[in-house]
Amino acid sequence: MKKILIVDDEADFCFFLKKNLEVRGEYDVLICTDGREAFPAIKKHQPDLVILDILQPFITGGEIAEKMKVDPATADIPFIFLTAVVKEAETTAHEGLIGGHYFIAKPVQAEKLIEVIDKVLQNKGEA
């Protein structure tokens, strides 16, 4: 079981995403709906992957990612950005990457998200 932490202020979104990921039986999904608590939670739970919503109140997904990168305890944990402010066309045009990071446009179908999750986890395994 891979541990995935979702950081998104939209609780209902998190609720369904958790359901849709866990139905596979491969992931254990944790939820954090307050960005301010995200970094301590990541540090504490040491997930295999973090899904970060970009536009959140108090702190952005980008800022959380910065914190993760500079802290040795979290620097190796991969993350995926999930956001409502990009167009799908912008992410698919570069194979899902913007500036070397995975970006996924909301709304996303679970199947597509899982594809990316598996790819990222696989890369991590190889690294």
Report the residue number, 74 or 91, with the smaller CB distance to another protein.
91
Residue 14 contacts residue 22 (beta carbons within 8 Å): no
Closest CB 46 distance from another protein, rounded Å? 26
CA–CA distance, 76 with 87 (Å, rounded to integer): 28
Residues that bind another protein (CB under 8 A): 10, 12-13, 15-17, 19-20, 23, 55, 84-85, 87-90, 93, 105-110
Report the residue number, 20 or 43, with the smaller CB distance to another protein.
20
Residue 106 contacts residue 82 (beta carbons within 8 Å): yes
Closest CB 112 distance from another protein, rounded Å? 11
Q: Match 């995403």 to its residue by tokens.
A: 17
Report the residue number, 16 or 58, with the smaller CB distance to another protein.
16
Q: Which two tokens stand for residue 77?
A: 């944990």
